Amino acid sequence: MKIAFIGSGQVGAALADNLAKAGHDVVLAARDPGSESVRAALARQPRLTVGAPAAAVAAADVVFLATPYAANSAALAGLDLRGKVLVDCTNPVGPGLSHGLESRTSGAEAVQRLAPDARVVKAFTIYGWENFADSAYPGYGDLKPVMLLAGDDAAANVQVGTLCRELGWEPLDCGPLAHALHLEHLTLLWIKLARAQGRGPNFVWAMLRR
């Protein structure tokens, strides 16, 4: 699969690295191919390539948005995302680890408004980057950490769920994109536990079935 990344920071670089290891053709859609983050991502995973954003997005089957939330508008400006699966990995974080949009709407719905013709799926947001770099939690048998996702396009959700499985996650489709607000609140809870309370990043959520 051809995958383009808009954003090559900690989250983007970790996911791009593992998707390349899984055999996908992964390109970093970079306006500045010589930036520090791009150079670090390439040093980490030499199989990554770099391309101009418009060309990288045009050639991609799936596009990951992994920028700081405040940069989303500028990052998506001028890109033709018609029909593209756009994975929103961003989180609107406000003062005191509050929801950056005051919980009036989800950040993913705001991304959909910025890219109205894209098929937006919220995913890869409920943990810190450390778990995207290494999703393995051995010692639990067949139980895998869960990756919650939400989106209005069922086929796009399935496609993103397949990528989740390839990266070691158990995908859980939480329904329409409006439910991304709950995923963003769960992200904030994880941050509060891991960062603010000092529990560290090495924990994830799982779904137990009877």
pLDDT digits (tens, 9 = 90+) for 80-133: 999 999 999 999 999 999 999 999 999 999 999 999 999 999 999 999 999 999
Quote the CA–CA distance of 130 and 200 in Å, as a whole number. 10
Q: Nearest 5°: phi and psi at 84? A: -80, 145
Tell me whether residue 162 is in a domain: yes
Query: Is 210 a domain residue?
Result: no
Confidence of residue 173 (pLDDT cuts 50, 70, 90): very high
Question: Which range marks the domain in which residue 133 is found?
Answer: 2-196
Name the pTM for this structure: 0.98
**pLDDT per residue over 64-81, tens digit each?**
999 999 999 999 999 999
CATH number for the domain harbouring residue 75: 3.40.50.720
Q: Which amino acid is at 135?
A: S
Query: How confident is the prediction for the chain on average, in pLDDT?
Result: 98
Q: How many domains does the chain have?
A: 1
Would you say residue 204 lies in a domain? Answer: no
CB neighbour burial string for 60-86, b if at least 16 within 10 angstroms, e if fewer? bebbbbbbebeebeebbeebebeebbb
DSSP bridge pairs for 87: 64, 121
Establish if 207 belongs to a structural domain: no
Sign of CA dihedral 66, 71, 72, 74: negative
Residue 76 domain-assigned (yes or no):
yes
Closest CA to 167 of 120, 201, 135, 210: 135
